Amino acid sequence: MKTSRGAFLASAALAAGSAAVSPLAVAAAEPQPRSQVQLGIASYSYWHFRDPKVTIEQVVEKTAALGVAGVDVLHRQMDLPEKEPLTAEHRGYLARLRRHGARHGVSYCCLSIHQNFVSPDPAYLQTQIEHTKKCIEIAYALRAGIVRINSGRWNTIKDFDDLMKARGIEPALPGYTEDDAFKWCAECITQCLPKAEECGVTLAVENHWGLTRTPEGLLRLSKEIQSPWFGVLMDTGNFLEDPYDKLVQVASKTVYVQAKTYFGGGEWYTLDLDYPRIAKILAQAGYSGWVSLEMEGKENPDLAVPKSIKLLRKAFGV
């Protein structure tokens, strides 16, 4: 009789436990789906290379005030000399930036840098490789997982304004071809990859100008450089003609997105981009990373950036 009573109590307890773990409770315990992308703000949105320079600390504070999760740091906007080796003083500055971000609940999602891997001069290319490796260390210090890189260009059109008038198209150096340039670029990026892997940083080449002005150029590099530490950065505003078909072509290789807006008219050109359409392109490609605003318009960024974030939040449903 005692054994039967014990069995009864055990059975009752099991039944009660089963009732407590209802289907609703099980569903609640399962991981909930998160938004497909996370928004960031490029510090470039507040500073277009003209004085007065807006500091990275100020951008962090503005980003936090808008409730945005990340800051994409423009290297040239930092209070660091661009080309010099890192010193103890520089590393202290990076530590303070990281602390500033943490105190405001803002992550550093990307470090956007400048370098040029298109040159027949091996000594020059080595300086660009070393510069890129140094920037990977900077990204690591900030805990940024992406470094935006450029392929580089011929620089046969010296002035950037003139390059923009030419729609980013410039002739090769006499005696050389695009094939030469792609070879130099792929070799240089490959030499940077061990440092990227060591630091846990992905190098993302942007559809900027030069070799990666077209989707074909981006995809050529993506095919030649087979590494989990290398991918494509999609800039929504750098395919000047028929952008959507081109964005589709690179979407499956994209590891990071910079989203242009042009409130007040663009610095060099203005595009009327359909962000719901772009969001659909990225969703269909299974993209679930950062989308970082690059406001390139002439309007006061304190007005234009909030409007841009509102636009992106609506388009991406975040």
Residue 209: what pLDDT? 82
Same domain membership, residue 90 and residue 16: no
Percent of the chain with pLDDT over 70: 89
pLDDT at 44: 98
| 171 shares its domain with 268 | yes
Top pLDDT among 210 and 112 is at 112
pLDDT at 156 over 90: no
Tokens matching residue 33: 């789906």
* Residues 22 and 84 grouped into a single domain: no
- 297 and 219 in one domain? yes
Q: Are residues 19 and 46 in the same domain?
A: no
Which carries the bigger pLDDT value, residue 154 or residue 183? 183
Mean pLDDT along residues 35-61:
94
Q: Residue 14: is its pLDDT beyond 60?
A: no
Percent of the chain whose pLDDT exceeds 90 = 80
What amino acid occupies position 28? A
Six token digits for residue 104: 């405001």
Mean pLDDT value across residues 202-224: 94
- Are 217 and 80 within one domain? yes
Separation of alpha carbons 232 and 202, rounded Å: 10
**Residues 64, 5 within the same domain:** no
Between residues 15 and 243, the one the model is more confident about: 243
Placement of tokens 């660091």 in the chain:
80
Name the pLDDT band for 89 (thresholds 50, 70, 90): very high
6-20, 49-63, 253-267: the lowest-pLDDT one: 6-20
Q: Report the number of distinct structural domains present in the chain.
A: 2
Residue 204 has pLDDT above 60, yes or no: yes
What is the rounded CA–CA span in Å between residue 296 and residue 219? Answer: 26
Contact at 8 Å (CB) between 288 and 252?
no
pLDDT at 287 over 90: yes
Q: Verify that 10 and 124 share a domain, yes or no.
A: no
Residue 16 pLDDT greater than 50, yes or no: no
The CATH code of the domain that includes 283 is 3.20.20.150
Cα(287)–Cα(289) distance, integer angstroms: 6
Residues 109 and 18 grouped into a single domain? no
Q: Do residues 207 and 235 touch, judged by C-beta distance below 8 A? A: yes
Task: Supply the range of the domain harboring residue 1.
Answer: 1-32
pLDDT > 90? residue 176: yes
**Same domain, yes or no: 9 and 113:** no
pLDDT recorded at residue 33: 46
Question: What number is the average pLDDT over the span 223-239?
Answer: 97
Pair 106, 69: CB distance under 8 Å: yes
Confidence at residue 27, expressed as pLDDT on a 0 to 100 scale: 42
Q: Supply the pLDDT for residue 154.
A: 85
Asked if residue 103 and residue 74 are part of one domain, the reply reads yes
Q: Are residues 256 and 135 in the same domain?
A: yes
* Top-ranked range on mean pLDDT: pick from 26-40, 206-220, 286-300: 286-300
Q: How far apart are the first and last CA of the chain?
A: 62
Mean pLDDT estimate for the chain: 90
Contact present, 112 and 180 (Cβ < 8 Å): no
Single-letter residue type at 177:
T
186-201 residue pLDDT tens: 999 999 999 999 999 9
pLDDT of 2 strictly over 50: no
Q: Is the pLDDT of residue 225 over 50?
A: yes
At residue 31 the predicted structure's pLDDT band, cuts being 50, 70 and 90, is: low
Instruction: Look at residue 230 and tell me whether its pLDDT is greater than 60.
Output: yes
Residue 248 has pLDDT above 80, yes or no: yes
Mean pLDDT within 136-151: 98
SS3 assignment for the chain: CHHHHHHHHHHHHHHHHHHHCCHHHHHHHCCCCCCCCEEEEEHHHHCCCCCCCCCHHHHHHHHHHCCCCEEEEEHHHCCCCCCCCCCHHHHHHHHHHHHHHHHCCCEEEEEECCCCCCCCCHHHHHHHHHHHHHHHHHHHHHCCCEEEECCCCCCCCCCHHHHHHCCCCCCCCCCCCHHHHHHHHHHHHHHHHHHHHHHCCEEEEECCCHHHCCHHHHHHHHHHCCCCCEEEEEECCCCCCCHHHHHHHHHCCEEEEEEEECCCCECCCCCCCCHHHHHHHHHHCCCCCEEEEEECECCCHHHHHHHHHHHHHHHHCC
